[in-house]
């Protein structure tokens, strides 16, 4: 059985912490930032944990 390769697109988008949590960047901070408030943009800049329903799928893409 060959080794499973890491999905490179997923590897660039997710980060695994030392405790095993998977973090992701929030959406909607790419463009059209003038109408968004500073508070909203600040919140969008922070990382968020991947939801429990998606965790298994993401873990498989990252081969962990």
The verdict on residue 3 lying in a domain is: no
pTM score of the predicted model: 0.83
| CATH number assigned to the domain comprising residue 37 | 4.10.410.60
Domain carrying residue 35: 8-62
Does the structure show a pLDDT above 70 at 56? Answer: yes
CA 34 to each of CA 6, 39, 40, 50, 59: distance values in angstroms, whole numbers, following the listed order: 37, 12, 11, 28, 35
Q: How many domains does the chain have?
A: 1
Q: What is the pLDDT of residue 31?
A: 96
Per residue in 6-39, pLDDT (tens digit) is 999 999 999 999 999 999 999 999 999 999 999 9
Question: Per DSSP, what are the bridge partners of residue 48?
Answer: 24
The verdict on residue 23 lying in a domain is: yes
The verdict on residue 1 lying in a domain is: no
Angle (CA) 11 30 35, round 5°: 155
Q: What are phi and psi of 48, to 5 degrees?
A: -135, 150
Does the structure show a pLDDT above 70 at 64? Answer: no
């Amino acid at each position: 059985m060959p080794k499973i390769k890491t999905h490179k697109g997923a590897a660039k988008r997710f980060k695994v912490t030392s405790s095993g949590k998977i973090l992701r960047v929030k959406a909607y901070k790419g463009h059209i930032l003038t109408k968004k408030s500073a508070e909203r943009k600040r919140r969008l800049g922070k990382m968020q944990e991947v939801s429990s329903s998606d965790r298994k799928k993401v873990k498989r893409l990252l081969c962990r």
